[in-house]
Structure 1
Amino acid sequence: MKKLVYVLLSVSALLGACKQTEIAPAGGKSDNQTNAIAAAGGTSRIFDQILFYDGYAATVSEPVPEGITRVSNAKYVKKLSSAQLQGLGNVLQMKVTIKAACDNYDRIAYVALAMVKKDAAYNDATAKHLEIGRFITPFMNKNKQPDQVPYLFNIDNVAAILKDPALNANYDIYLEFSIFGVPYAANKEIAGCAGRNDTFFGTVDLISSTSGTPATNPAVILEPLSFNQNINNYDNTDVAGKTVKSITVNLATAVKSAKLYLITSNHGANAGGEEYNRRNHFIYFDNIQKLTYKPGGKSCEPYRAVNTQGNGIYGSKPQTDAQWASFSNWCPGDAIPIRVITLGDLTAGDHTFKIEVPDAVFKDKQGYIPLSVYLQGEK
Structure 2
Amino acid sequence: MKKYYFLYIIFTVVLSAQAQKNIKALKVTYLRSTNDKIFEKQDPIFLFTSDKVSLVTTENITLNKASFPIEETFIDFELKTISLLAQFKNRSSILNVDTSALAKQKFTITDQTKKILGYNCKKATTSINSNSIELWYTTDLQLKGAPTALGQELGLVLEMVRNGNTKTTASKIEVLKKVPALLNLPTQSPKKVDQLTYKDLLWKSRFVTIPVFEKEIINFVDAPKSNDSILKFANGTVILKKVKFPEIKNGSDIFIDLTEQSNGDAYDRTGTIFLIPTDQSISFLDGLQQGVKSLPIYENGNGKKYQGVVRTENYAPLLELMRFFTPFGVKHFNNLELKNKVWQDSAFYRQEISQLLPALSNKEVWIGANIGNYDQGGHKISLNVTIHPGYSREENNSWLLPIFNTNNVMEMAGQDYATMFNSEKGLEVNFEIPEGLTNVQLSYITTGHGGWGNGDEFVPKKNTILVDEKEVFSFTPWRTDCGSYRLSNPASGNFNNGLSSSDLSRSNWCPGTITNPILIDLGNLSAGKHSMRIKIPQGASEGTSFSSWNVSGILIGKKG
TM-score by length of 1: 0.71
SS in 2 for 1:123: helix
* Equivalent position of 1:225 in the other structure: 403
Q: CA deviation at 1:104?
A: 0.5
Tell me how far 1:128 sits from its aligned partner: 4.9
Distance 1:88 1:204 in 2: 23
Aligned to 1:103, which of 256, 261, 265? Answer: 265
Mark the CA change 1:371 to 1:160 in structure 2 (over 3 Å): closer, same or farther: same
Cα deviation for residue 375 of structure 1 reads 0.9
Is 1:47 the counterpart of 2:230 in the alignment?
no
Distance change in 2, residues 1:282/1:45 (3 Å): same
Q: Report the identity percentage.
A: 20
Contact 2:355 2:396 in 1 (8 A): no
| SS of residue in 2 equivalent to 1:207 | strand
Q: 1:143: Cα distance to partner?
A: 4.1
In structure 2, the CA distance between the partners of 1:116 and 1:59, relative to structure 1 (3 Å rule), is: farther
Q: Distance in 2 between matches of 1:354 and 1:367?
A: 19
Asked whether 1:236 is paired with 2:420, we answer: yes
Partners of 2:218 and 2:379 within 8 A in 1: yes
Cα 1:160/1:127, change in 2 over 3 Å: closer
Residue 515 (structure 2) pairs with residue 336 (structure 1) = yes
Deviates more, 1:123-132 or 1:151-160: 123-132
Kindly tell me: are residues 329 and 214 of structure 1, through their superposed partners in 2, closer, same or farther at Cα, counting changes over 3 Å? closer
CA contact (8 A) 2:251 2:395 kept: no
Q: Deviations over 1:267-306 (max 9, x none)?
A: 1124421112111211222233222221224221111001
Residue 88 of structure 1: how far off its partner (Å): 9.0
> 1:74 pairs with 208, 231, 237, which one?
237
The amino acid that maps onto 1:58 is: D
What do the CA deviations read for 1:212-244 (whole angstroms, capped 9, x no partner)? 2699867x33222112356x999625xx64372
Deviation at 1:136, TM superposition (A): 1.0
Corresponding residue number in structure 2 for 1:123: 285
Higher relative contact order (CA 8 A, sep 6+): 1
Summarize deviations over 1:141-160 as a string: whole Å, max 9, x none. Answer: 50414241011112110124
- Which position in structure 1 is the counterpart of 2:368? 176
Q: In 2 relative to 1, CA 335–214 (structure 1 residues): closer, same or farther, beyond 3 Å?
A: closer
- Corresponding residue SS for 2:344: coil
> RMSD in angstroms over aligned alpha carbons?
3.7
**Corresponding residue of 1:14:** none
Q: Which amino acid aligns with 1:81?
A: K
Q: Distance in 2 between matches of 1:140 and 1:267?
A: 19
Q: 1:259 aligns with which of 424, 435, 441?
A: 441
Figure out how many residues of one structure are paired with residues of the other and give that number: 313
> Residue 94 of structure 1 aligns with which residue?
256
Match of 2:534 among 355, 365, 379: 355
Does the alignment pair 1:158 with 2:353?
Answer: no
Structure 1 segments unaligned to the other structure (5+ residues): 1-28, 184-196
Provide, for residues 100-124 of structure 1, a one-character-per-residue CA deviation record: whole Å limited to 9, x for no partner.
1010001000001112359x99934
1-side partners of 2:520 and 2:380: how far apart? 33
Alignment of 1:292-303 (within 5 A): 292-303=474-485
Per the alignment, residue 140 of structure 1 pairs with 329
* Structure 2 match to 1:282: 464
2:62 paired residue number: none
Higher mean C-alpha displacement, 266-275 vs 327-336: 327-336
Give the counterpart of 2:548 among 329, 354, 368. Answer: 368
Gaps of 5+ in 2: 1-196, 288-314, 335-342, 409-415
- Asked whether the 8 Å contact 1:93–1:207 carries over to 2, the reply is yes
Residue 377 (structure 1) aligned with residue 557 (structure 2): yes
The answer to whether the 8 Å contact 1:233/1:244 transfers is no
The answer (yes or no) to whether the contact 1:140–1:147 under 8 Å persists in 2 is no
